[in-house]
Amino acid sequence: MAGAMDLPPKGGFSYDYCRRNAMLADKGLKMPGFLKTGTTIVGLVFQDGVVLGADTRATEGPIVADKNCEKIHFMAPNIYCCGAGTAADTEAIWSARSFNFTVMQLVVNHEFYQGHVSAALVLGGVDVTGPHLHTVYPHGSTDTLPFATMGSGSLAAMSVFESQYKEGLTREEGIQLVADAIRAGIFNDLGSGSNVDVCVITKGKTEYLRNHQLPNPRTYVSSKGYSFTKGQTEVLYTKITQLKPKVEVTEGDAMEE
Amino acid sequence: MSIFEYNGSAVVAMVGKNCFAIACDRRLGVQLQTVATDFRRVFKVHDKLYIGLSGLATDAQTLYQKVVFRHKLYQLREERDMKPQTFASLVSTLLYEKRFGPYFCQPVIAGLGDDDEPFICTTDCLGAKELAKDFVVSGTASESLYGACESMYKPNMEPEELFETISQALQASVDRDCLSGWGGYVLVVTPTEVRERVIKGRMD
């Protein structure tokens, strides 16, 4: 029964539940929905580097599961990556880092995942040869562009870029344009929402402006709030366990002979 | 009917002042028939770390056993308990290994980390982590739970007030869901003690 005992596996996918799940699907039980990042993600190249932007909404079907999630992920101090699509896939791809990242991404997405891993990325960074911006699609193709948008809100954001982008933008203009594009996605696309995250990468310095703009504050909070009197909930039984402080073992002196 | 609705479940975790609370309903069903009214969905990993598993009950129990196994190996190697953030990554990895044939479970992880800072997070059935500073929900009653927690939650609640709030939010939500309910287990964990309470709810 060597196969049944779970020594922690060396990694990679395990397919042993596929047959069971297929059998359940045949019996009429529908597969669950996965967390998707509906998303608007954008990137543009300005005179000194790259600016990336993303919204912060994560959806589960029509429900907002997370109002402030992080979609801009760290790859290297000078390379950041935004992800759209199935959230688990983008997080997994992000954590499988490689130095020669774009090439690996192409190979992995194309040969290995073959589009089953639904992750679309906007990747930007600055190295010795200058600023670079790439997009990676779920099936593995890549583009290198001066400005790019991905995700369900990409059309709204691209309309902003196409009308206002020009070469040689300054840092402030770049950040403003990225924020405008993300806001277009937030307000016009239902799969994107909440706040604007921005990341500015230049030679030698990276600034991650988390929640750079908060255009959707929560205004419906009741001023009094709910307050429940103690004992309002009916309790059948209570069990109290005291937590013992952990005993620390410190090095002692050697015993004398 | 979706695979998640086969057994029915509701799990919620909330953050308070230097404490957290995690709660679940007690019903175990087979589609519309109720089979047990004392089913536990929240399990202890170590003194200050709990995991609640909603979704298919068999996958919840298997996943719990695997996770406890990995944690015990970690304890033997590292001679200490796992931090909640590390544990969340472990659960996420275990779930993602089964990307193309997943466990039908949505875990809710709650623990006290360094300096007894409360930590909560939930993942979807593939392992995508969602950290939150206020509350996390999962299960068939999750949509009602989102609404109830959104209105009832206040930051920095003391343990007693947190207990009342999470219990009322749980009760209000499961009363609107046919597949979960029949009372609730609520655990409130502070740095010095754990209070586990069984609360009375509608038995329909």
Q: Is residue B71 part of a domain?
A: yes
Q: What is the mean pLDDT of residues A220-235?
A: 81
Question: Rounded to whole angstroms, how far apart are CA atoms A51 and B202?
Answer: 54
Question: Rounded to whole angstroms, how far apart are CA atoms B136 and B153?
Answer: 11
Q: How many domains does chain B have?
A: 1
**What per-residue confidence (pLDDT) applies to A1?**
42
Q: Is pLDDT of A246 > 50?
A: yes
Q: Is pLDDT of A223 > 60?
A: yes
Q: Is residue B23 part of a domain?
A: yes
Q: Is pLDDT of B3 > 60?
A: yes
DSSP secondary structure, A125-157, as one string: EEETTEEEEEEE-TTS-EEE-SEEEESTTHHHH
Question: Rounded to whole angstroms, how far apart are CA atoms A88 and A69?
Answer: 13
B128 contacts chain A (CB < 8 A): yes
Q: Is pLDDT of A90 > 80?
A: no
* % of chain B surpassing 70 pLDDT: 100
Q: What is the mean pLDDT of residues A102-109?
A: 52
CB contact under 8 A, B6 and A29: yes
CATH superfamily of A40-213: Aminohydrolase, N-terminal nucleophile (Ntn) domain (3.60.20.10)
A223 contacts chain B (CB < 8 A): no
Please tell me the least confidently modeled range out of A225-229, A244-248, B192-196. Answer: A244-248
**What per-residue confidence (pLDDT) applies to A176?**
95
For helices A171-188 and A154-164, give the axis angle rounded to 10 degrees. 140
**What per-residue confidence (pLDDT) applies to A6?**
55
Whole-model pTM: value is 0.81
**Boundaries of domain holding B81:** 3-199
Q: What is the mean pLDDT of residues B92-96?
A: 93
By annotation, the residues of A acting in catalysis are 39
Q: Where are the domains of chain A?
A: 40-213
3-state SS class at B198 = strand
Contact A129, A147 (CB under 8 A): no
Q: What CATH code is carried by the domain that includes residue B24?
A: 3.60.20.10
**Long-range Cβ contacts of A105-110 (<8 Å, 24+ apart):** A105/A136, A105/A140, A105/A142, A106/A136, A106/A140, A106/A141, A106/A142, A107/A140, A108/A140, A109/A136, A109/A137, A109/A138, A109/A139, A109/A140, A110/A139, A110/A140, A110/A141
Instruction: For residue A34, give the nearest of B98, B126, B146 by CB distance.
Output: B126
Complex ipTM tops 0.90: no
3-state SS class at A178 = helix
> Using 50, 70 and 90 to split pLDDT, how confident is the model at A30?
confident
**What per-residue confidence (pLDDT) applies to A3?**
45
pLDDT digits (tens, 9 = 90+) for B153-191: 999 999 999 999 999 999 999 999 889 989 999 999 999
Q: Which residues of B touch A23 (CB under 8 A)?
A: none
A10 contacts chain B (CB < 8 A): no
**What per-residue confidence (pLDDT) applies to B144?**
93
Please tell me the least confidently modeled range out of A112-126, A149-163, B9-23, B52-66. Answer: A112-126
**What per-residue confidence (pLDDT) applies to A10?**
65
